[in-house]
Structure 1
Amino acid sequence: MKFILGKDRKQTCLFPVSLEDSIEQENSVRSIDQFVDSLDLSELGFRSVFTENGPPAYNPSVLLKLYIYGYMNRVRSSRQLEKECKRNIEVIWLLEALTPDHNTISNFRKDNAKAIKKVFFATVKIARNFGLIGATLVAGDSTKLRAQNSKKNNFNQKKIGRHLDYIDNKLQQYNKALEQSDSDSEKQEINKDIDKHKGRREHYKQLEKELIESGEPQISTSDPDSKHLIIRNNITEVAYCVQTTVDADYNIPFDYLVTNTNDSKAMGQMLRRAKSILHTNTFTALYDKGYHTGSEFCTANQLNIKTLVAIPGIGRASQAPDPNYNSEHFKYNKENDTYMCPQGNILKSNGSTYKGRNYRFKQYKTNQCKSCPVRDLCTTSKVNGKVIQRSEFQKYIEENAQQVLKNPKAYKKRQAIVEHPYGTIKRQWGFSYILTKKTMQRASADVGFMFIAYNLKRIWNIMKTKKQTLFRAINIGMLSVLDFLGVLALYSSLYQKKQIAM
């Protein structure tokens, strides 16, 4: 049987293939090369001046190209990237046969978090220049990426207290055993155990001190900025929360922010950033029920940005025995500052405001509850009857509810818009965790490269399907992928020179 035969490894070649000839013209590695070469890296904040002591430094463009290529091809580890520099023909071409070591590669990502964020915004500006960001409908959401910190190395006051109580109980047992022991060898072993537990006790007391001094509810020892967060339902992880804002036209993220808190207080900040990036507030923003917070609606109102936020269900503690008597069925009269219940009784406030967790509120009630025939259907309270609480932000919450009811089709687009990048980054690429550790800034650099790689791939794929539109726009004939990459680089270069208005 005949087989296809390979070349003899020992055979010499009269005309050796050059690096340039090894990479086909349609290869995406050429887009990375042209994109990075079009950027003014010193203006973006990458270090470009180095002392003359010791060996010469690598140009930051070399390491930036390496990282973008790595993230596009699901390689993030500095040691793996070091290997690729020596065995991957595409990387050898991209870096012109340079082989930085893993420490140099790792330090580049660690030391340039802010500059990496600016490279991400350069991809956003290219997308805007190609008309891929409409800035009329956007969606926001977050995803949790596991940190390099186990649950075992995350502590709150309750957990530290449990450890201290356990150690104190063990010390009591050891002291009692020491008193009852007659053997010197046995006493020696018990004293070793006592010393070991005393050392552990000092460790937990030190953690308790650090926790109190930090003013935070929890502390992580391996990655200090990471927090124990709810991933979904009752599943928790020590993680970072990555907030993103995505444009609806082509599912392109134009902003991201790495945090260690949940979603409830995030919407206002992300809307401010969106307004600053897009230079407009005429867009509509879609969010899920995790962002349903009165103070954030107030911020959106101040920014004059229309938002559609899913309405969460009423908590079990606030549910009436009969759902028809839930507080949502009580009508508010703005002129008289009163509520009318389904039975026609008027609930009034005493005018006082009370302080809640993050807001102030009024209480409304009526004496008619005492003789109401449907009291058992309305409330379980045996003393005060039905009490309605009205938040200082209630009018903004009601306005949002009206907007959601008026625009059900618009809100249904949210998941398809904002989950697209997450699906690609976490499911297809496997980037479900933060690779770096120690400080949120380093985590932000890791996330930044994820979104740079996503945006560049997304722009390239979209433009390949929009060639005819692009041909008319730039008034040329047939365009290859390499031609497109040249146009992309030109746009980026013109932007850097302030020749394109944004």
Structure 2
Amino acid sequence: MGFIEGQDRAQVSLLPPSIEDYVAPEALVRVVDAFVDSLDLSELGFERTVAAATGRPGFRPDDMLRLYVWGYLNQVRSSRMLERACWRDLEALWLMRRLAPDYRTIAAFRHDNPEAIVRTSAAFVQFCREQGLVGGHMVALDGTKMRAVASPKNIAGAERLARDIAHTEREIAYYLDRLDSMDEQVAQGFGDQPTHREAFGDAIASLQRRKDRLAKRQGELAKREESVLVFGEPEAKPMGYAHAPKVPAYNLQSVVDVESGLIVHHDVCNDANDSHLLHPMSVAAKEVLEADQLHVLTDGGYSNAVEVARCEDEAIIVSAPIKRGAMNSEHFRPTQFVYDQESDTIRCPGGYDLRRSGIHTRGRAVRYRTPGCKTCSLKPRCTSGAQRTIHRLIDQGALDRMEARIYADPSLMRIRRCTVEHPFGTIKRMSGGGRFLTRGLRKVKAEAALSVLAFNILHAVNTFGAGKLTGAG
């Protein structure tokens, strides 16, 4: 029995295959082609949608958009790799109709149209809504850190820059002393100039350039009035998890529809903390879905009382656990003090009522105390000070209602985890482990939009089928 043999490369075909035969009817690339074909690129804000009357003809923007969306779907994001794909990948040959723009032209398209690319990603969500593929009543919100282009070595603060400058000055002084010592030996007749004198001079010049560069960074840091700066990528911030080393990164936020699993809204920011992002992300998702009321599932990182209260004012219900700080286990925890809304008092474990004694306007909190601490037998278990003080946030009621929903239905956190974590894993796998290729928040947002669009297309095809999308497109 022999082996399966391929065709002879020198065999001449009577009728060569057409480009259409290169791609299967159910291929994902056909969905990309149908979606881009349905867009009005001028309305989305793409440049050069109308050919110029003079000059060399350019590539159509819809062809460039097709290439980028297909590339992000197939983990091909670099402009140079996309250029190679146009020559050797059958799907790219079919999609571009044998066009092969050079990598500079490909990179320029993403560089010149970041806002239009973001609107394109949003257009696919609206396309899915029009087809009835998005539920729009319950969503899950979360964020993840995505690496920036800059190296962690470019993270520096005022203290580190001063230390590096001092170290560089010591090295310069060392080489200068060595040169002085050589000159003294020559003057005393102990030999000719050493052969490595020129190397010492080059080292001093290199160190001086390094010192000038560090001094320039010092001035830039002082001008921006920031404690730490990522040089080469100033809009990125050092971010990390727990005690892990901080790396230059951006914060990618996404809102995922629970029913369909599609990302209905996303954004990129350089805030390492999520606590102030609940309200803007939730309101934006509500506007995208055009919903009268929205239920948002999220984690404890978003448990900001002010943000939760603002969401309630916008008819947005938030379900999440409260993020609580660490406390000495020898004393009663704040959760053991029961608040009574009617009397505006807090009942302590010793049976005393703590009453208002002041307001912290900066922290938006009310201070509660009781004179009963002086005679309470449980005082050693409550505080080591003269009196126990309990602070209750002005919007604490919104947090309590938020946490009560979790206790009433613990499955909400499982739904949140299964809904919002999966897209991040897929996006990071498709983006080289979760790293952007461009610099600056404006361009990074375009990259994130392409990644989100690629995920939504892939998920929609896997969930609803390619026919549902191509037929509607």
Work out whether the TM-score is over 0.5. yes
SS of residue paired to 1:350: strand
CA distance in 2, matches of 1:168, 1:320: 50
SS of residue paired to 2:240: strand
CA distance in 2, matches of 1:179, 1:302: 75
1:239 shift after superposition? 0.9
Q: Which residue of 2 aligns with 1:273?
A: 284
Contact 1:81 1:102 in 2 (8 A): yes
Q: Which residue of 1 aligns with 2:426?
A: 424
CA distance in 2, matches of 1:449, 1:286: 25
CA distance in 1, matches of 2:52, 2:439: 27
1:52 shift after superposition? 4.7
Contact 2:139 2:255 in 1 (8 A): yes
Deviates more, 1:268-277 or 1:229-238: 229-238
Q: Which residue of 2 aligns with 1:306?
A: 317
Contact 1:321 1:380 in 2 (8 A): no
Q: Which residue of 2 aligns with 1:403?
A: 405
Structure 2 counterpart of 1:487, which letter?
G
Contact 1:139 1:247 in 2 (8 A): yes
Runs of 5+ in structure 1 lacking a partner? 465-480, 490-502
Is 1:5 matched up with 2:41? no
Contact 1:30 1:485 in 2 (8 A): no
Deviates more, 1:79-88 or 1:228-237: 228-237
1:459 shift after superposition? 1.5
1:374 shift after superposition? 2.4
| Change in CA separation of 1:308 and 1:161 when aligned onto 2, cut-off 3 Å | farther
Deviates more, 1:180-189 or 1:88-97: 180-189
| Change in CA separation of 1:232 and 1:42 when aligned onto 2, cut-off 3 Å | farther
1:18 shift after superposition? 1.5
Is 1:285 matched up with 2:269? no
CA distance in 2, matches of 1:188, 1:26: 68
Which of residues 375, 380, 404 in structure 2 aligns to 1:376? 380
Is 1:246 matched up with 2:256? yes
Is 1:227 matched up with 2:227? no
CA distance in 2, matches of 1:167, 1:267: 45
1:143 shift after superposition? 1.2
1:12 shift after superposition? 1.6
| Change in CA separation of 1:380 and 1:412 when aligned onto 2, cut-off 3 Å | farther
Q: Which residue of 2 aligns with 1:236?
A: 246
Structure 1 counterpart of 2:6, which letter?
G
Contact 2:294 2:315 in 1 (8 A): no
Contact 1:224 1:438 in 2 (8 A): no
Contact 2:30 2:470 in 1 (8 A): no
1:352 shift after superposition? 4.2
Contact 1:147 1:433 in 2 (8 A): no
CA distance in 1, matches of 2:99, 2:405: 57
SS of residue paired to 1:351: strand
1:347 shift after superposition? 2.7
Which of residues 176, 201, 211 in structure 2 aligns to 1:201? 211
Contact 1:36 1:61 in 2 (8 A): yes
Q: Which residue of 2 aligns with 1:346?
A: 353
1:380 shift after superposition? 3.3
Structure 2 counterpart of 1:488, which letter?
A
Contact 1:434 1:446 in 2 (8 A): no
Deviates more, 1:255-264 or 1:240-249: 255-264
Deviations 1:15-67 (A, max 9, x none): 21111233332222222222111111111111113545542110001111111
SS of residue paired to 1:149: coil
Q: Which residue of 2 aligns with 1:27?
A: 27
Contact 2:427 2:434 in 1 (8 A): no
Is 1:126 matched up with 2:130? no
SS of residue paired to 1:74: coil
Is 1:321 matched up with 2:330? yes
SS of residue paired to 2:358: coil
Contact 2:354 2:368 in 1 (8 A): yes
Contact 2:155 2:248 in 1 (8 A): yes
| Change in CA separation of 1:376 and 1:188 when aligned onto 2, cut-off 3 Å | farther
Q: Which residue of 1 aligns with 2:190?
A: none
Deviates more, 1:400-409 or 1:68-77: 400-409
Equivalenced residue count is 462
CA distance in 1, matches of 2:185, 2:304: 66
CA distance in 2, matches of 1:190, 1:485: 68
Is 1:39 matched up with 2:49? no
- Identity, in percent, stands at 31
Q: Which residue of 2 aligns with 1:477?
A: none
CA distance in 2, matches of 1:372, 1:180: 78
| Change in CA separation of 1:254 and 1:431 when aligned onto 2, cut-off 3 Å | farther
Structure 2 counterpart of 1:37, which letter?
D
| Change in CA separation of 1:57 and 1:393 when aligned onto 2, cut-off 3 Å | same
Deviations 1:196-222 (A, max 9, x none): 444433322321221222233322222
Contact 2:322 2:399 in 1 (8 A): no
SS of residue paired to 2:446: helix
1:248 shift after superposition? 0.3
CA distance in 1, matches of 2:159, 2:371: 43
CA distance in 1, matches of 2:344, 2:185: 81
Q: Which residue of 1 aligns with 2:455?
A: 454
CA distance in 2, matches of 1:439, 1:407: 42
The CA RMSD over aligned residues, in Å, is: 2.5
1:245 shift after superposition? 0.1
| Change in CA separation of 1:197 and 1:425 when aligned onto 2, cut-off 3 Å | same
